[in-house]
């Protein structure tokens, strides 16, 4: 997840009483392969930090692309170049995988696959120049979408589903102070928005930091303002599956993330994110901090949402 600069709240903070749900069997709960998703987090981190320009970045790109090409109907690498405020030229690539590409009714699922080149929140000042492992911050969202691709390959969806893995989301930083520089962040989403001006799915869902043990996904404020009906659809689905412990009926902070860029381009997109993560932008953002149970809750909600939209559940 990008080094965040919180926006001025767009809606007042409030808490809504969560609706209770028992632990009885719920159709759709547990359908997603959480263990697979967990293993895919570890697989990404094993490449090393996926920092643009590194060997790990190049290897992870080819692995993700090959994985999706075995499952999706079409997969495209979308390379682009960005020159930063400090004169660095970044070679970046978004990955665009589509299921049922001819379908007119579509949804967008997205996550960033790069990892941050610095760990500016490390407790050890000498570690702040270390690149981020990016287990939760990056790999968790990608892992959920890759594992979801397995489900969509086995049972093709009755609607179009697009998976967008964005690059360069987490780059922007001052090379000396490591301060956040938002103009050099969210690069893949900006590039996609600029080159797909006519793309209009029903809605989009961004996954960012979705793997922490005992995660609490509050309703991100910009999502509530920009696409409140999508927030309601997702949280209602989570309630029906009995996942209120993860998807809580509470308004969280406003976060400047890829979904803001996509909304500005006319793509109504929300952010599923647990920003209360103690290892954010530290070298401790490693696979042991990620829990299959959390990944499974997020994956189940997405899979149920797709199947219900398509009339398959």
DSSP string, 68-98: HHTTSSEEEEEEEEEE-TTSPEEEEEEEEEE
pLDDT in tens, the chain (313 residues): 544 433 333 333 332 233 334 445 677 899 999 999 999 999 999 999 999 999 999 999 999 999 999 999 999 999 999 999 999 999 999 999 999 999 999 999 999 999 999 999 999 999 999 999 999 999 999 999 999 999 999 999 999 999 999 999 999 988 888 888 889 999 999 999 999 999 999 999 999 999 999 999 999 999 999 999 999 999 999 999 999 999 999 999 999 999 999 999 999 999 999 999 999 999 999 999 999 999 999 999 999 999 999 888 6
pLDDT value of position 13: 30
Contact 255, 7 (CB under 8 A): yes
Q: Where are the domains of the chain?
A: 34-309
Residue 212 DSSP class: B
- As a whole number of angstroms, the distance between CA 213 and CA 294 comes to 6
Distance, in Å, from the CA atom of 241 to the CA atom of 300, rounded to the nearest integer, reads: 8
Which pLDDT value is given to residue 312?
A: 80
- Spatial neighbors of 127 by CB under 8 A, at least 6 apart, are 119, 282, 283
Q: Side-chain half-sphere of 229: how many Cα atoms within 13 Å?
A: 3
Dist. CA 189–CA 82, nearest whole Å? 12
Chain centre to alpha carbon of residue 235: 16
Please tell me the predicted confidence (pLDDT) of residue 12: 34
Strand partners, 94: 78
The whole-number pLDDT of residue 8 equals: 34
CATH topology of domain 34-309: Aminopeptidase (3.40.630)
* Residue ranges of E strands in the chain: 74-83, 89-99, 106-112, 160-166, 203-208, 217-219, 247-251, 269-273
Which positions ≥6 away from 147 have C-beta within 8 Å?
A: 32, 33, 34, 36, 37, 40, 295, 299
Q: Which of 50, 124, 133, 127 is nearest to 93 (CA)?
A: 50
Q: Are 127 and 284 in contact (CB under 8 A)?
A: no
């Amino acid at each position: 997840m990008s080094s965040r600069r919180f926006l001025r709240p767009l809606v007042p903070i409030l808490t809504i009483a969560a609706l209770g749900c028992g632990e009885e069997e719920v159709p759709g709960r547990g359908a997603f392969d959480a263990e697979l998703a967990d293993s895919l987090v570890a697989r990404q981190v094993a490449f090393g930090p996926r920092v643009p320009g590194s060997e790990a970045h190049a290897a992870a790109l080819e692995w993700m692309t090959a994985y999706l090409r075995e499952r999706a109907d079409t997969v495209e690498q979308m390379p682009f170049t960005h020159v930063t405020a400090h004169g660095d030229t970044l070679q970046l690539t978004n990955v665009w995988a589509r299921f049922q590409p001819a379908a007119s009714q579509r949804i967008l699922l997205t996550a960033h696959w790069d990892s941050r080149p610095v760990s500016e929140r490390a407790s050890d000042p000498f570690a702040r120049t270390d690149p981020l492992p990016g287990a939760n911050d990056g790999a968790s969202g990608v892992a959920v979408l890759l594992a979801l691709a397995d489900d969509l390959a086995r049972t093709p969806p009755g609607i179009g589903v697009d998976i967008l893995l964005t690059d360069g989301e987490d780059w922007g930083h001052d090379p000396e102070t490591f301060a956040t520089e938002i103009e050099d962040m969210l690069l893949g989403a900006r590039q996609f928005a600029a080159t797909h001006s006519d793309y209009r799915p029903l809605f989009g869902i961004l996954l960012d930091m979705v793997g922490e043990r005992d995660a609490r996904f509050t309703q991100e404020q910009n999502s509530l303002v920009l696409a409140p009906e999508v927030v309601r659809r997702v949280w209602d689905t989570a309630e029906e599956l009995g996942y209120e412990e993860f998807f809580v009926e509470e308004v969280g902070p406003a976060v400047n993330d890829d979904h803001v860029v996509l909304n500005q381009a006319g793509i109504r997109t929300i952010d599923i994110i647990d920003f209360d993560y103690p290892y954010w932008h530290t070298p401790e953002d490693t696979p042991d901090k990620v829990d299959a149970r959390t990944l499974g809750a997020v994956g189940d909600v997405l899979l149920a949402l797709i199947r219900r939209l398509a009339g398959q559940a």
